[in-house]
Structure 1
Amino acid sequence: MEELKKRSEIKKEDKWDIEKIYKNSEEWEKAFETLKKEGIKIKEYEGKLNDSETLLEFLKLDEKISREAEKILVYSHLKSDENTGDNQNQGRMNKADSYMAELSSYGAFFIPEILSIGEENINKMLNEKEELKLYDFMFKSILAEKDHVLSKEIEEMLASVSDCLEGPSNIHGILTNADMTFPKVKNEKGELVRLTEGNYASFIRSKDVNVRREAFKALFNEYAKIKNTLGTTLTSSIKNFNFMAKTRKYSSALEASLKPNNIPVKVYEEAIETINKHLPSLHRYVRLKKKLLGLEEMHMYDLYVPVIEIEKEHIEFDKAVEIVIKALEPLGEEYLDIFKSGIKNGWIDKYENEGKRGGAYSWGTYDTMPYVLLNYNYDLNDVSTLAHEMGHSIHSYYSHKEQPYIYGGYTLFCAEVASTTNESLLINYLIRNEKDKNKRLYLINQELEQIRTTVFRQLMFAEFEYYTHKMIEEGNPLTAEDYCKKWHELNVNYFGEDMIVDEEIDVEWARIPHFYSDFYVYQYATGYAAASAFSNSILNGEKDAVSKYKKFLKSGGSDYPINILRNSGVDMTTPMPLEKTIKRFNELLDMLENEI
Structure 2
Amino acid sequence: MPQKESELKKPQKVKERKEIDQRYKWRLEALYSEDDDWEKDYRAIKEMTKESEKIAGTLGQSAEKLYEALHFADEISRKIENVFIYARMKKDEDNRVTKYQSMSDRAQGLSVEVQSSLSFMIPEILGIPEERIRTFVEEHEKLKGYQFYLEELLRQKAHILTKEEEQILAQAGEVAAAPKNIFSMINNADIKFPVIRDEKGEEVEVTKGSYVKFLESSDRRVRHDAFKALYSSYEKQKNTIASTLNYSVKKDVFYARVRKYPSALQASLDEDNIPLEVYDNLIRTIHEYLPAMYRYVKLRKRALGLEELHMYDLYTPIVKDVKMEVSYEDALKKVSEGLRPLGAEYVSLLEKGFAEGWIDVYENEGKTSGAYSWGSYDSPPYVLLNYQNTIHDVFTLAHEMGHSLHSYYARSKQPYTYAGYKIFVAEVASTVNEALLMQDLLKKTEDKNIRAYLLNHYLEQFRGTVFRQTMFAEFEREVHEWAERGEALTPESLSEYYGELNKKYYGPHIIVDEEIKMEWARIPHFYNAFYVYKYATGYAAAISLTQQILQEGEPAVKRYIEFLKKGGADYPIALLQGAGVDMTTTEPIHSALKVFEELVKEMEQLV
- Counterparts of residues 262-341 of structure 1 (less than 5 Å): 262-341=273-352
Partner residue, 2:49: 39
Gaps of 5+ in 2: 1-10
Letter in 2 for 1:49: L
Q: Partners of 2:593 and 2:129 in 1: how far apart?
A: 46
Contact kept in structure 2, 1:43 and 1:107, CA below 8 Å = no
1:139 Cα deviation after fit: 0.7
Letter in 1 for 2:40: K
1:317 Cα deviation after fit: 0.6
Which structure 1 residue ranges, 4+ long, deviate > 4 Å from structure 2? none
Say if 2:254 is the partner of 1:246: no
Partner residue, 1:488: 499
Contact kept in structure 2, 1:115 and 1:142, CA below 8 Å = yes
Contact kept in structure 2, 1:298 and 1:498, CA below 8 Å = yes
Contact kept in structure 2, 1:310 and 1:442, CA below 8 Å = no
Contact kept in structure 1, 2:341 and 2:553, CA below 8 Å = no
1:542 Cα deviation after fit: 4.7
Partner residue, 1:551: 562
Letter in 2 for 1:221: S
Q: Partners of 1:440 and 1:491 in 2: how far apart?
A: 29
Equivalent of residue 596 in structure 2, options 553, 563, 585: 585
Match of 1:117, SS?
A: coil
Equivalent of residue 572 in structure 1, options 570, 583, 586: 583
Equivalent of residue 81 in structure 2, options 53, 66, 70: 70
Say if 2:228 is the partner of 1:185: no
1:543 Cα deviation after fit: 5.6
Partner residue, 2:68: 57
The more displaced of 22-31 and 60-69 is 22-31
Match of 1:207, SS?
A: coil
Q: Partners of 2:95 and 2:162 in 1: how far apart?
A: 42
Match of 2:209, SS?
A: coil
Q: Partners of 2:118 and 2:585 in 1: how far apart?
A: 38
1:87 Cα deviation after fit: 2.0
Q: Partners of 2:52 and 2:344 in 1: how far apart?
A: 44
- Counterparts of residues 109-124 of structure 1 (less than 5 Å): 109-124=120-135
Q: Partners of 2:423 and 2:351 in 1: how far apart?
A: 26
Contact kept in structure 1, 2:322 and 2:450, CA below 8 Å = no
Tell me the alpha carbon deviations over residues 289-332 of structure 1, each in whole angstroms, 9 at most, x when there is no partner.
11111110010001111110133232111110000111001011
Partner residue, 2:4: none
Tell me the alpha carbon deviations over residues 333-354 of structure 1, each in whole angstroms, 9 at most, x when there is no partner.
1000100001111111111110
Contact kept in structure 1, 2:498 and 2:520, CA below 8 Å = yes
Contact kept in structure 2, 1:359 and 1:375, CA below 8 Å = yes
Say if 2:66 is the partner of 1:85: no
Partner residue, 1:6: 16
Tell me the alpha carbon deviations over residues 17-61 of structure 1, each in whole angstroms, 9 at most, x when there is no partner.
112211222221221011110122123211111111111111222
Match of 2:495, SS?
A: helix
Gaps of 5+ in 1: none
Tell me the alpha carbon deviations over residues 554-585 of structure 1, each in whole angstroms, 9 at most, x when there is no partner.
11011100000001110000111111111001
Q: Partners of 2:604 and 2:441 in 1: how far apart?
A: 19
Match of 1:352, SS?
A: coil
- Counterparts of residues 155-166 of structure 1 (less than 5 Å): 155-166=166-177
1:11 Cα deviation after fit: 1.7
Q: Partners of 2:114 and 2:212 in 1: how far apart?
A: 41
- Counterparts of residues 164-563 of structure 1 (less than 5 Å): 164-542=175-553, 544-563=555-574
Contact kept in structure 1, 2:322 and 2:449, CA below 8 Å = no
Letter in 2 for 1:14: Y
The more displaced of 449-458 and 23-32 is 23-32
Match of 1:410, SS?
A: coil
Match of 1:193, SS?
A: strand
Q: Partners of 1:220 and 1:438 in 2: how far apart?
A: 34
Match of 1:372, SS?
A: strand
Match of 1:447, SS?
A: helix
Partner residue, 1:17: 27
The more displaced of 307-316 and 247-256 is 307-316
Letter in 1 for 2:39: E
1:88 Cα deviation after fit: 1.9
Contact kept in structure 1, 2:322 and 2:453, CA below 8 Å = no
Q: Partners of 2:265 and 2:49 in 1: how far apart?
A: 36
Tell me the alpha carbon deviations over residues 517-539 of structure 1, each in whole angstroms, 9 at most, x when there is no partner.
11000000000011001111111
Contact kept in structure 1, 2:216 and 2:315, CA below 8 Å = yes
Tell me the alpha carbon deviations over residues 228-268 of structure 1, each in whole angstroms, 9 at most, x when there is no partner.
11111111111111111111111111111111221001100
1:287 Cα deviation after fit: 0.7
Equivalent of residue 109 in structure 2, options 94, 98, 116: 98
Match of 1:356, SS?
A: coil
Partner residue, 1:145: 156
1:189 Cα deviation after fit: 1.2
1:63 Cα deviation after fit: 1.4
Q: Partners of 1:102 and 1:244 in 2: how far apart?
A: 26
Q: Partners of 2:553 and 2:376 in 1: how far apart?
A: 34
1:278 Cα deviation after fit: 1.2
Q: Partners of 1:157 and 1:5 in 2: how far apart?
A: 51
Match of 1:274, SS?
A: helix
Letter in 2 for 1:34: A
Q: Partners of 1:194 and 1:476 in 2: how far apart?
A: 38
Partner residue, 2:3: none
Match of 1:90, SS?
A: helix
1:271 Cα deviation after fit: 0.5
Match of 1:4, SS?
A: coil
Contact kept in structure 1, 2:49 and 2:113, CA below 8 Å = no
Q: Partners of 1:165 and 1:503 in 2: how far apart?
A: 33
1:171 Cα deviation after fit: 1.2
TM-score (norm 2): 0.97
Letter in 2 for 1:28: W
Tell me the alpha carbon deviations over residues 73-94 of structure 1, each in whole angstroms, 9 at most, x when there is no partner.
1011101111112222112111
Q: Partners of 2:232 and 2:179 in 1: how far apart?
A: 22
Letter in 1 for 2:568: G
Letter in 1 for 2:71: K
Q: Partners of 2:201 and 2:551 in 1: how far apart?
A: 50
Q: Partners of 1:27 and 1:135 in 2: how far apart?
A: 30
Q: Partners of 1:287 and 1:4 in 2: how far apart?
A: 42
Letter in 1 for 2:33: K
Contact kept in structure 2, 1:227 and 1:510, CA below 8 Å = yes
The more displaced of 320-329 and 183-192 is 183-192
Contact kept in structure 2, 1:448 and 1:585, CA below 8 Å = yes
Q: Partners of 2:43 and 2:30 in 1: how far apart?
A: 19
Letter in 2 for 1:439: I
Letter in 2 for 1:380: I
Q: Partners of 1:46 and 1:256 in 2: how far apart?
A: 29
Match of 2:127, SS?
A: helix
1:217 Cα deviation after fit: 0.3
CA separation of 1:542 and 1:15: change in aligned 2, threshold 3 A: closer
